[in-house]
Chains A and B, each alone.
Chain A
Amino acid sequence: MKKMLFLLFILGATISSLSAREKIFVVERENSALAVIDHNLLVDKIKNMHNFNHAVVKFRDNDGYVITRDGYVIKFDPIHNKKLKEYKTSKSAIGFIIGSNFLAVANYDNKTVEILDRDLNPLQTIKTGSRNVGIKIYKNYLIFELMDSDEIWVMKNENLSKAKAHFVLFKKFKDIGKVPFDAMIHKNLYVAGLFNSPDVGLLNLDTMKYKKIPLNLGRKDRILKVPHFGFWSISKDYFFIPAVGAKKVFVFDHNFKPISAIEVKGNPVFTAMSPNQKWLAVSFSGKDFPYVQIIDTKTFKIMRTFKFDGWILHLRWSKDTPHIYFSVNTKNEVLAYRVSDPDPKKWWKHFMWPVRKPSGIFLFEAPDDYLKKSSKVSH
């Protein structure tokens, strides 16, 4: 009987295991490496990733791509943790987007947008005469901003049904506002961030009409500088925007009508919405680097203030397990807090992985057949 119970326990343990549906890739900035956490184990490092300052990692299908500060696009295999190929696109690049059969890279240095196939073979170079940012895809359009000439270009893929993408200019928008520096897509809206401006530009990608909207909550509360959109969070009803310099998180509805200004601990840098949209995590800069606050997205009340032993450079909610991950850069740790309890005060430190000077955290949804194998092999 005891044997039976023990076997039943083992079966139960296997089924209800902590199997990671997602793999965690963490940028080790100083090592030019990506640390790989899989199945709760720090299993690997992908090295020789060039200048990893502000590196961006993206996944599509079973491919991983990185763009580095010094202009390399790198393709890697996120299943086997292997660097596959690198391509030097310019001296300085900052953004890219992955289409079904192409990559589009917004270059700073050589004033081009470069189109590559998914294996990093060059297909097309679009000369813009400007540093380029905010590159996005909508349907068969490629949209980006020209930082030096205050324009938005919309390109159209004329080879949609063919193997190799090829883009032609569809429409130019001039005088969109001073120095566009970032963009995001929300539904059919291309939202343009304008440097040192409290305004955002809105391009409706269905009607191709453009307008500017001020982000203000009245005379007193005005966003001094629109932060990068990667730092915003979007819920079903609201945009949450860290108001840099104002020690507040501003809340707007999806028509950019002001809703609230939430007082927070310090100068907010980064906001991250939990997958269930109940919680907003906010990180800070300056002396408040070690803090993270958790905000209830319905009441806008601060529910918990974490103080860590080091600087939090990035945080990200797991999509598959009840965890939030933190990069504690100066402590050389990546932490996972268990967030299953409805009361954030009861969330607890669940995992610690030693990672050298961690910064960006990126999640890869591994395919099911891989997970079936990895649940037994990753020890």
Chain B
Amino acid sequence: MGRVYLTGAGPGALELLTIKALRVIRKADVIIYDRLANPEILSEAKDGCEFIYVGKADSHHTLPQDEINELIYQASLKYDIVVRLKGGDPLVFGRGGEEGIYLKQRGVKFEFIPGITSAIAVPEYAGIPVTHRGITVSFRVVTGHEASKNKSQIPWENYKSDDTIIFLMGLHRLKHITEKLLEIGKPKDFPIAVISKGTWAEEKTVIGTLSNIYEKAKDLPTPALIVVGKVVKLHKDLSWFEK
């Protein structure tokens, strides 16, 4: 039985892949990868390595999670080194926990290899610190793509504080997010940023307020990340990556 490495591929830029992730990718017999993993990483695999794509197409999963779990398990029966490669970090909205439990229940040895999460790296590339002395001392990371659209699991009332809020995968819900934040009492001119294709050469940051960001940013290419908080104002002084 093989060993499974539930591996984070980072936010996109190749330089943000960890050295440990690179090592297992080079040794892998099979790499099961998703859409957010930079496909150029695959060129580092050895000859004979098999690549299995399990990411989304057209915003729909090509394989349901239980089939992905089983596919990883079957790969562990066939190969010595199985890499499950995910964008970002495997345990930050990556469903790596579900895959780990499935493997554990079947006696498969696995390791998590953390990836640099886009929640921090993407704002950083946009010159927006998620914390900043004198402005905010904490931040929250929230999925902008909830499993159930009818019944929100997000405790919006808790978001009245001055925490920086980072919404991952939320561009298509941008209008809803801004409406909810206005509903709980955030001011209309509260700063918000949308960062499209963060850490990639095509990165683009749009700065606005809760009242105007939807019109300004709704057509940006995905993937995109949303940052809400006073730290957004630091973008004009700290922007370093975008041309």
Contacts and interface: CB of A to CB of B under 8 A. Distances in A.
Interface of A: 6-7, 9-10, 13-14, 16-19, 35-36, 39-45, 47, 338, 348-355, 373, 375-379
B132 interface: no
A44 B57 contact: yes
B50 interface: yes
Contacts of A45: 57-58, 60
A41 B223 CA distance: 15
A44 B14 CA distance: 23
A16 B43 contact: yes
Interface of B: 12, 14-15, 19, 22, 35-44, 47-55, 57-58, 60, 62-63, 87, 197, 200-202, 221, 223
B50 A42 contact: no
Given A13-B43, A377-B197, A379-B38, A41 B202 contact: no
A42 B37 contact: no
Contacts of A39: 39
A79 to B, nearest CB: 14
A154 B183 CA distance: 71
B80 to A, nearest CB: 16
B19 A6 contact: yes
Interface of A is mostly: mixed
Nearest to A348: B48
A19 B50 contact: no
Contacts of A378: 39
A18 B57 contact: no
Nearest to A11: B14
B35 A40 contact: no
A41 B53 contact: yes
Nearest to B17: A10
A22 to B, nearest CB: 14
Given A9-B22, A377-B221, A379-B200, 8 more contacts: A9-B44, A14-B14, A36-B57, A42-B55, A348-B48, A348-B50, A351-B50, A354-B63
Nearest to A372: B201
A376 B62 CA distance: 22
Contacts of B51: 40, 350-352
A35 B57 contact: yes
A7 B48 CA distance: 25
Nearest to A42: B57
B40 A375 contact: yes
Contacts of B14: 10, 13-14
Contact of A41 (B47, B55, B201, B221): B55
A376 B39 CA distance: 9
24 contacts: A6-B19, A13-B14, A14-B14, A14-B40, A16-B43, A35-B57, A40-B42, A42-B57, A44-B58, A47-B58, A348-B48, A350-B50, A352-B50, A352-B51, A353-B53, A354-B54, A354-B63, A355-B62, A376-B200, A376-B201, A379-B12, A379-B39, A379-B87, A379-B200
A41 B15 contact: no
A322 to B, nearest CB: 11
A39 B58 CA distance: 15
B40 A19 contact: yes
Nearest 5 Cβ contacts at the A-B interface = A17-B40, A45-B58, A42-B57, A354-B62, A352-B52
Nearest to A16: B43
Given A36-B57, A40-B53, A377-B200, A18 B15 contact: no
A351 B202 CA distance: 27
Given A10-B14, A13-B43, A348-B48, A379 B37 contact: yes
A43 B39 CA distance: 12
Nearest to A378: B39
B43 A18 contact: yes
Given A10-B15, A375-B40, A378-B39, A354 B53 contact: yes
Contacts of A43: 35, 57-58
Contacts of A349: 50
